[in-house]
Amino acid sequence: FNMFSGSLLDLRSLKRSNPHLSEDVVLIRALRDSNLPKFLTDDAVLFCGILSDLCPGVSIPEHDYGVLHSTIQESVVQRNLQPLPSMINKVIQLYETMVVRHGVMLVGPTGGGKTTVYTILADTLETLHHSEHKANDPFYQPVKTYVLNPKSVTMGELYGEWRDGLMALSVRDAVNDTTDDHKWVICDGPVDALWIENMNTVLDDNKMLCLANSERIKLTPSIHMVFEVQDLAVASPATVSRCGMVYIDPDELKWMPYVQTWISGLGDKVLFIYSITGVS
């Protein structure tokens, strides 16, 4: 059901933005774009093969992301990171997922690049907002982040009892912000069935945070819930089906980019050591 509903959301958006494309091309592209981000590398190959079998002879033209792609590259380089195609592709996948979903799960092991992906996207949207391309896409807005670790606190401290908890404070602050800026409430840490189930009303079409004191906070269109998790082993299908998903596969990144970034930063560190030791 999640695959079907997510594809329908993407299909509607693609058809409106590409009226010149035939329906079968739009359908296949919607199925591909909405489901490919959540697959492992090996599974993605199988999925593309299944799509080819479903619609033989249908060629899907590669989408030209233009200024978005180039700005992502610039943002990566500015942070002294390596502009690998796999990393840029994940940033684009997160962008496309957030356009159609207000709840997104970034899934992958520690050190795989989950934080880097959403940070680069935030930098990119900020840059595009202050450029002449702002009018091309209303999604090009600055980003405000509210980062918390739900597993580091109790349920009462997270959702609140007789006073607001961390989640209530973050969401309330985001709701009270009436600007067009994006507000991303980022839950960084393991998923637990105890706290994640209370988010179901937030993640569905109601977009409502229900608190223990019977208060309900309605999310605005500029608010996104982002879950940065290692796996979804204890998350229920009801929760997973309400979210878009982007899997960050560390096998695509490998170890060389870490070494290249470390080496590129050695120059400044060596100069700093020379300056404090007086060695020339």
pLDDT digits (tens, 9 = 90+) for 57-74: 777 777 778 899 999 999
Output the CA angle 155-238-210, nearest 5 degrees. 40
Domain shared by 12 and 80, yes or no: no
Which tokens go with 160?
């609140």
Domain shared by 134 and 192, yes or no: yes
Domain shared by 106 and 185, yes or no: yes
Contact 269, 275 (CB under 8 A): no
276 within domain boundaries: no
Cβ-defined contacts of 74-83 (< 8 Å, 24+): 74/127, 75/120, 75/123, 75/124, 75/127, 76/120, 78/123, 79/116, 79/119, 79/120, 79/123, 80/261, 80/264, 80/265, 81/116, 81/120, 81/257, 81/261, 82/257, 82/260, 82/261
DSSP H or E run through 244: strand 244-247
What is the predicted pLDDT for the residue at 15? 65
Domain shared by 174 and 250, yes or no: yes
What is the predicted pLDDT for the residue at 13? 66
Domain shared by 95 and 48, yes or no: no
What is the predicted pLDDT for the residue at 47? 85
Domain shared by 224 and 87, yes or no: yes
What is the predicted pLDDT for the residue at 278? 65
Residues of the chain with pLDDT under 70: 1-18, 278-280
What is the predicted pLDDT for the residue at 12? 64
Q: Are strands 216-218 and 208-210 parallel, antiparallel or unpaired?
A: antiparallel
What is the predicted pLDDT for the residue at 279? 58
Domain shared by 48 and 91, yes or no: no
